[in-house]
Amino acid sequence: MWSGCLNVLGLGSGKGKEEGLLSDPQLSKETAKCVFCNPTPEKGFDIVLEEERFIAFRDRDPAAAHHLLAIPREHITNVKSLRGEPGAKLVEELHRFGTRALAKVMHPIDVARSHDNDALGKDLSPASSPETRYGFHIPPFRSVEHLHLHCLALPFRSPYRALKYRVAPGDPNARPPQHKGWSWFVTAVQTIAILRDGGTVKVGAC
């Protein structure tokens, strides 16, 4: 069984999907032991939203008030393997899907907070809703080897947890311009910008 982004090596049990891309023997071997290929409630996944190409479920070990993982059904190893416009498009769609999934679980909390604010005579605008964060871990950060977008509704449960999801802004004045600073976490928006610029995602500034 998997737990968040740690201690997952060698723990897969599901059968891989047998279609299309997976005729590659190396890839078939990877998906056969991949815990995120074909997630189902029977395997212990708390699924929040399912669509044709994507699926979202709750992280077993949530780092924030709400913490979902949104994944493509297709086995893609990690964010470092994405390239160019096809990669950017995929992340854009996954990000939109993750936003829909998170909104589904966040809604009751937003309503509750609005009531609190109302009672205190404070702002009721949507700006008072919790901060959200969407992004990927970058190897060698140890993680499940199936591309998964972390979808977080803050606050974090502890400062230590927050460290794993630290966003490092890039330096737009660097040559070439950087979309991201040094960090093992990259946001969906940073990823899209890096890929559209012809780059690849790495832990260092890029």
Binding to Zn ion by residue 187, rule CB under 5 A? no
Binding test (CB under 5 A) with Zn ion, winner from 8, 22, 37, 101: 37
Q: Least separation, in Å, of the C-beta of 12 and Zn ion?
A: 8
Rounded to whole angstroms, the Cα distance separating 9 from 12 reads 8
If one asks whether residue 143 binds Zn ion (CB under 5 A), the answer comes out as yes
Contacts (Cβ under 8 Å, ≥6 apart) of 67: 58, 59, 150, 151, 152, 153
Compute the distance between CA of residue 94 and CA of residue 147 in angstroms, rounded to an integer: 10
State the Cα–Cα distance between residues 172 and 175, nearest whole angstrom: 8
Q: Give the nearest distance from C-beta 98 to Zn ion in angstroms.
A: 13
Least Cβ distance, residue 149 to Zn ion (angstroms): 9
Which among 66, 95, 137, 150 is annotated as catalytic?
150
Contact call for residue 78 and Zn ion (CB under 5 A): no
Closer CB to Zn ion, residue 113 or residue 139?
A: 139
Residue 67 contacts Zn ion per CB under 5 A: no
Measure the N-to-C terminal CA separation of the chain; round to a whole number of Å: 34
Structure tokens at 181: 């600073």
Q: Which of 34, 90, 149, 203 binds Zn ion (CB under 5 A)?
A: 34
User: Is there a catalytic annotation at residue 137?
Assistant: no
Give the distance, in angstroms, between the CA of residue 116 and the centroid of all CA atoms in the same chain: 30
Residues that bind Zn ion (CB under 5 A): 5, 34, 36-37, 75, 137, 143, 146
Active-site residue set: 150
